[in-house]
């Protein structure tokens, strides 16, 4: 019963963040993330895995099969998630082809998965199983930053453990505009921000900064936790590499879960 409640109360997206990291560290060496189903079928049915040389089923395959084969596919999602979590838990510790949910035509190309006993904690298994369960095929990569207002940012920060990043800017600020056109348009920077931060943009020519934050120059970047506590203040415009290191420092200092 205790376990049951814990699952229900755990904010979903918090463990989603962590689940992806568990996957990257402990599963990605064998399980690729996403390959379109048609390509997979061609690979397995027509080419005997010589097209893709996969080492294990992909995450999109696992997600699909787990949802189809464990518990009641039409029933309550939370309930099915719990059943999937306990299946994955059991399979990781005691892999056994008799229990497999994947298609035999797919599995015939693989050895049985080695047991991960001692290599992965219960918490990590729960998180990674949840991440797999809710796995969605990749969306088109964002080409621009998605800014939200401060209230929304606080709510998302609370839910996800991400850091709020407030950019203090103004249209008459030459260096702000320059940075917005270069560094803040860079795909790698956009990816890094969307992964660990919630960006808020405040144009001080027409908006006030929240919660008594004080700025002396533009641009300035404030990094805050979900309670609005300032973790770091970074004045000035930055080139890509330097800005990426700043973001990394904030992530490390805060201990953002990955
Ligand atoms: C050393 C390679 C390897 C690693 C690391 C690995 N797996 Fe696997 N896994 C496999 C192979 C191969 C299969 C397919 C054969 C099988 O089902 O045993 C598989 C199958 C599975 C299945 C499906 C079982 C079924 O019903 O057929 C799940 C779920 C799974 N892995 C989850 C994970 C998770 C989660 C991790 C990381 C914590 C992980 N695996 C790490 C190789 C690996």
DSSP string, 212-224: G---SSSSEEEEE
Same domain, yes or no, for 162 and 120? Answer: no
Q: Is 95 in the pocket of ligand 1 (CB under 6 A)?
A: yes
Q: How many Å apart are CA 192 and CA 248, to the nearest integer?
A: 9
Same domain, yes or no, for 111 and 225? Answer: no
Same domain, yes or no, for 122 and 179? Answer: no
Instruction: Say which CATH number the domain at 41 has.
Output: 1.10.760
Tell me if 144 is assigned to some domain: no
Which residue's structure tokens are 């918090």? 14
Q: Which two tokens stand for residue 32?
A: 């690729």
By alpha-carbon position, which residue is closest to atom 41 of ligand 1?
A: 27
Predicted TM-score (pTM) above 0.85:
no
Inform me whether the pLDDT recorded for 12 exceeds 70.
no
Quick one: pLDDT at residue 16? 47
Higher pLDDT, 9 or 54: 54
Average pLDDT over residues 19-30: 94
Tell me if 100 is assigned to some domain: yes
Domain termination site, one of 133, 161, 185: 133
Tell me if 145 is assigned to some domain: no
Give the domain range for residue 223.
150-254
Ligand 1 centre to CA of 46 (Å) is 23
Count of domains observed in the chain: 2
Q: What is the pLDDT of residues 42-92, one digit of tens each?
A: 999 999 999 999 999 999 999 999 999 999 988 888 899 999 999 999 999
Q: Quick one: which atom of ligand 1 is closest to the CA of 95?
A: 18
Tell me if 213 is assigned to some domain: yes
Same domain, yes or no, for 236 and 164? Answer: yes
Q: Is 116 in the pocket of ligand 1 (CB under 6 A)?
A: yes
């Amino acid at each position: 019963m205790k376990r049951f409640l814990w699952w229900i109360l755990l904010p979903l997206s918090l463990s989603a963040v962590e689940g992806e990291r568990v996957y990257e560290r402990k599963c990605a060496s064998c399980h690729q993330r996403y390959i379109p189903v048609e390509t997979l079928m061609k690979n397995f049915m027509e080419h005997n895995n010589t097209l893709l040389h996969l080492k294990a089923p992909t995450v999109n395959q696992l997600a699909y099969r787990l949802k189809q084969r464990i518990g009641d596919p039409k029933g309550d999602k939370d309930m099915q998630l719990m059943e999937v979590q306990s299946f994955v838990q059991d399979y990781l510790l005691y892999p056994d082809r008799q229990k497999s949910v994947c298609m035999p035509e797919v599995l015939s190309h693989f050895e049985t998965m080695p047991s991960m006993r001692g290599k992965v904690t219960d918490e990590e298994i729960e998180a990674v199983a949840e991440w797999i369960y809710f796995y969605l095929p990749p969306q088109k990569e964002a080409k621009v930053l998605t800014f939200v207002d401060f209230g929304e940012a606080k709510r998302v920060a609370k839910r996800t453990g991400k850091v709020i990043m407030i950019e203090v800017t103004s249209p008459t600020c030459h260096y702000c505009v320059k940075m917005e056109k270069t560094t803040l348009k860079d795909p790698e920077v956009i990816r890094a921000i969307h992964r660990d931060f919630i960006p808020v943009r405040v144009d001080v020519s027409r908006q006030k900064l929240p919660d008594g934050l004080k700025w002396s120059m533009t641009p300035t970047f404030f990094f805050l936790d979900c309670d609005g506590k300032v973790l770091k203040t970074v004045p000035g415009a930055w080139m890509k590499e330097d800005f990426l290191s700043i973001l990394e420092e904030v992530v490390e200092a805060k201990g953002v879960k990955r």
